[in-house]
Amino acid sequence: MSDSRLALHELEAVLAVAHRASFRRAAIDLNVSTTALSSTIAKLEGNLQTRLFNRTTRSVSLTESGRRYLEQVAPALQALRGALETVRSQNAEPAGVIRINAFASAARTALLPLVLEFAGRYPRVQIDLVTEERLVDVVAEGFDLGVRASSLIPSDMIALSLGQTQRYAVVGTPTYFAEHGEPQSPADLKQHECLRIRLPNGAIYPWHFERAGDVLRLDVEGQFTVDEPSVAKAIVQANVALGLFMEQDVQAEIDAGNLQRVLEDWTPPRDELCLYYPNRRNPSAALKAFTDLARENLQRRRHPA
């Protein structure tokens, strides 16, 4: 007869393995051995009488039963974490761990100043910041907060502006433009070598342009296809291609004259970046302090002294 009782560490184990898609990386996150973690998952699967993960020598992935199980238990685990944090933090300064998910450029520019200020105010709070380009379900994957463009935030989440809009920039080096000329419109990009951007799901990201109500999405052509911004920047700086970047990722190089921007009138500001999180009745003291500071910073931006 199977034991239907569940322990909190078993739920944490399932969530960690699902998020990392690796027993080794999940074990590091949980500060346990890979053998102990594997044993915990195997015991839980035995009790549930179903396999939660498909395992091969190269990969780990959720089974359909595992996916359904995670969809059910993740919100409950988040609620339990919140309740524990609420009890622990009553009449005490904020402490514990805040887990945040953001794409890399947003983490560097919009989020990092907030995180550093928060860390200085609340030294007992640990910040676990995960950067990745894919869109994630912050509740299902165990995050307290996420950062996205406002248009991409689910309607059931609370959104809090970080006071920064997103904007694309098409750039090349002065050397590249001296040899190949500057494009005057998106259509001219057909005569240029352009970096192709691969998304986490394998799709190639089209370059986006907009002017006076005209919206264009171009599947550019080029010798290079990349999936990491720093690699893309290095290729552009080698004078061999044009690249499409988030403005904040190349602003320093533009200001220094190492990169030159083109088609600026075709890349207007887009959605603002927002911090978002699920509506919880009893947020932890640490989470409440973080969102309070985000609101304070937004007020300072909008109403400078």
What is the per-residue pLDDT across 176-234, written as a single tens digit (0 to 9) for each? 999 999 999 999 999 999 999 988 778 898 999 999 888 899 999 999 999 888 899 99
| pTM for the model | 0.58
CATH number at residue 59: 1.10.10.10
* Chain center to CA of 231: 18
| Structural domain includes residue 79 | no
Q: Are 153 and 188 part of one and the same domain?
A: no
What is the per-residue pLDDT across 143-162, written as a single tens digit (0 to 9) for each? 999 998 888 888 889 999 98
| Structural domain includes residue 200 | yes
pLDDT of residue 261: 97
DSSP code of 303?
A: S
Tokens of 106: 């947003």
Q: Could you say which of 23, 40, 73 is where a domain stops?
A: 73
Q: SS3 letters for 166-230?
A: CCEEEEECHHHHHHHCCCCCHHHHHHCCECEEECCCCCEECEEEEECCEEEEECCCCCCEECCHH
Q: Are 175 and 252 part of one and the same domain?
A: yes
| Structural domain includes residue 84 | no
Region of 236 please: left (phi>0), alpha (psi -120 to 50) or beta: alpha
Q: Are 284 and 160 part of one and the same domain?
A: yes
- What span, in angstroms and rounded, lies between the C-alpha atoms of 201 and 203? 6
CATH number at residue 186: 3.40.190.10
- The boundaries of the domain holding residue 221 are 168-266
Q: Are 244 and 295 part of one and the same domain?
A: no
| Structural domain includes residue 86 | no
| Structural domain includes residue 81 | no
How many domains are contained in the chain?
Answer: 3
Strand order from edge to edge, sheet including 168-172: 243-246, 168-172, 260-262
| Structural domain includes residue 87 | no
* Residues counted in the chain: 305
Q: Are 182 and 246 part of one and the same domain?
A: yes
Tokens of 152: 């991409």
